[in-house]
Amino acid sequence: MSVMIILLGQNIYENINEDRADNYAKRVSLSYIANKVRQADKENSVRIEKSGDIQALVIKEVYDGDYYETWIYYYNNGLYELFADEDIQFNPEDGMKIMNVDSFSIERLNNKLYKFIAEYDKSNIELIINVNSNQQ
């Protein structure tokens, strides 16, 4: 009887840890995007760009007087990021995979609101974020 209780407890513990890891992964991807947007939250610094079949969040930044862009996009079953000079030709293979996701979409709701949806294991998590709150 004791062995059965221990095995049952182990299965419950493993299921709880798997659920916790899944929930963490779901929150991390959109928290990452929220932090990137908030760091660069200046007028005209955030936009949605379409390149072929890929839709990307593009964040424009200035370092030492030079302009750079961070592209965040869904590609090859993952969320990717590409940091490059402003004038480069976007190539999704050049980005670095941030994490695995089943799908990712971006929608501009109005001139200041963006909606992000990430799907993991047939469940969605979404984020709506306001930009240009710190205009300069």
Where are the chain's structural domains?
2-130
At residue 112 the predicted structure's pLDDT band, cuts being 50, 70 and 90, is: confident
Residue 19 has pLDDT above 80, yes or no: no
Looking at per-residue confidence, does 61 or 6 come out higher? Answer: 61
Mean pLDDT of 7-22: 70
Picking from 5-19, 42-56, 87-101, which range would have the lowest pLDDT averaged per residue? 5-19
pLDDT at residue 93 in the model: 92
The DSSP secondary-structure symbol of 53 reads T
List beta partners, residue 85. 68
pLDDT digits (tens, 9 = 90+) for 27-67: 677 888 888 888 888 878 889 999 889 999 999 988 888 99
Lowest mean pLDDT among 50-64, 69-83, 115-129: 115-129
Which pLDDT band holds residue 13 (cuts at 50, 70, 90)? low
Burial class (CB in 10 A: 0-12, 13-18, 19+), 15: exposed
Q: What is the pTM of this model?
A: 0.77
Closest CA to 113 of 41, 56, 17: 41
Query: In a 10 Å sphere around its CB, with 0-12 CB exposed, 13-18 middle and 19+ buried, how is residue 102 labelled?
Result: middle
Mean pLDDT, rounded, of the chain = 84
Average pLDDT over residues 101-126: 86
